[in-house]
Amino acid sequence: MKVGIDVSPLALTRAGTARYLTNLLTALEDEPEVEVRRYSFGGSSRAAKIARDTAWYLGALPRQARRDRLDVLHCPGMRAPVQSPVPLVVTIHDVAVLREPGSFNRWTRGYSRRTLPRIARAARRIVVGSEFSKSEVVELLRIADDKVEVVPYGVGLPFTAEGPAAEGEYALTVSTLEPRKNLRRLAGAFERAGLDEHELRIVGARGWGGVRVGGDRVRWLGEVSDDELARLYRGAACVAYVSLYEGFGLPVLEAMACGAPVVCPGRPPFSEFADGVAVAVDPLDEDSIAAGLCEAVGRREELAALGPARAARFGWRRAGREHVRVYREAAL
């Protein structure tokens, strides 16, 4: 089966979409049934992004897919053709841009509002990472339930409990600096928590929405390598991820795999894989987050033992096999 995969998202981000795509490509290398062809329109400038969103996805990519006689075209991000001459599979990581449009810039809001419903109709199959995301896609894009396939994301090397750990006493969060990641509320909760010997370390790219972080014992590290991120997970007194809206929440799973105590919202999608292992909080309540931070630090050894066993259920090889099944169904 000849499967074309759009790898253009790798030119834009190293965050969740890129991690999903990179690990999926590696997993598909072990699937003899699939021959993968990669397609890309590079560049991260504003002009390149607009050209990619318009000329590439709406014209050049589907034409190339037809010329190459693909069995399936997979677009693993929020951009894809609105008409496809070959069976189309699209991964929709979340529909935050429709549920929380104020958290995105004008171009993304307008473009997504116009194209996402058409992309969803054009796709033979839609892949999502959680049951929560499936319900959101079905509701907001008005798509038939049986068209949406839930394939939970995975975790693998270097995110394991064995390995070097970063030094110091700190709480860690891993988030692009954008409004829905709730970093201001997290920083306020950290100040209230009374963890006076700790600092709050923030890993992630500078994003949008004017989000800035800093202050007493708050340190932004920017982007780091995966090996360094694994070191930071292992050394953390706790990892807090209190995003207001996610389709899955991959940093929570990565932190669990590294044996870190985790604080996250006590609701889907997080509860689908972290229930009983992470400390559940209300992300809208600073007092709740502060109490969760203190609880996680206090239960560090107990929670550190639970996380890796739970995370072991979520491997990228499993996810790769599930994607092959989706490709096969789409190609029928």
Question: Is residue 201 included in any domain, yes or no?
Answer: yes
pLDDT in tens, 59-114: 999 999 999 999 999 999 889 999 999 999 999 999 999 998 877 888 888 989 99
- For residues 58 and 192, membership in a common domain is answered with no
For residues 129 and 196, state if they share a domain: no
- Give me the domain span that covers residue 203: 170-311
Place of tokens 């963890």: 195
- pLDDT given at position 60: 96
Give domain status of residue 86, yes or no.
yes
Same domain, 270 and 324: no
Q: Residue 105 falls within a domain, yes or no?
A: yes
Q: How far apart are CA 220 and CA 214, in angstroms?
A: 7
Helices (H), 207-285: 226-235, 250-257, 271-274
Domain assignment of residue 212, yes or no: yes
Residues 325, 297 share a domain: no
Question: Is residue 161 domain-resident?
Answer: no
Pair (231, 321) in one structural domain: no
301 lies in the same domain as 325: no
Question: Bigger pLDDT: 77 or 262?
Answer: 262
Quick one: average pLDDT of 166-193? 94
User: What confidence tens digit (pLDDT) does each residue in 306-325 have?
Assistant: 999 999 999 999 999 999 99
Three-state SS at 193 = helix
CATH at residue 128? 3.40.50.2000
Above pLDDT 90, what percent of the chain?
Answer: 83
Answer yes or no: do 23 and 134 share one domain.
Answer: yes
Distance CA 60, CA 303 (A): 49
pLDDT in tens, 115-140: 999 999 999 999 999 999 999 999 99
Residue 120 lies in a domain: yes
**pLDDT reported for residue 116:** 96
Q: What does the pLDDT read at residue 56? A: 93
| Residues 324 and 258 grouped into a single domain | no
- Provide the Cα torsion 101, 107, 108, 113; round to 10°: 70
What is the Cβ-side half-sphere exposure of residue 166, based on CA atoms within 13 angstroms?
21
Same domain, 54 and 196: no
pLDDT at 283 exceeding the cut of 90: yes
- How large is the average pLDDT for residues 223-231? 95
199 with 112, same domain: the answer is no
The pair phi, psi for residue 185, each rounded to 5°, is: -65, -35
Q: Is the pTM of this model over 0.85?
A: yes
Cα–Cα distance for residue pair 21/77, rounded to 1 Å: 9
Residue 209 has pLDDT above 80, yes or no: no
228 and 109 co-located in one domain: no
Q: Is the dihedral of CA 278, 279, 285, 287 positive or negative?
A: negative
Q: Are residues 238 and 223 in the same domain?
A: yes
Q: What is the pLDDT of residue 78?
A: 84
Does residue 163 sit within a domain?
A: no
Task: Say how far apart CA 111 and CA 168 lie, in whole Å.
Answer: 44
Whether 14 has a pLDDT exceeding 80, the answer reads: no
**Inside any domain, residue 177:** yes
Domain count, the chain: 2
Return mean pLDDT, the chain. Answer: 94
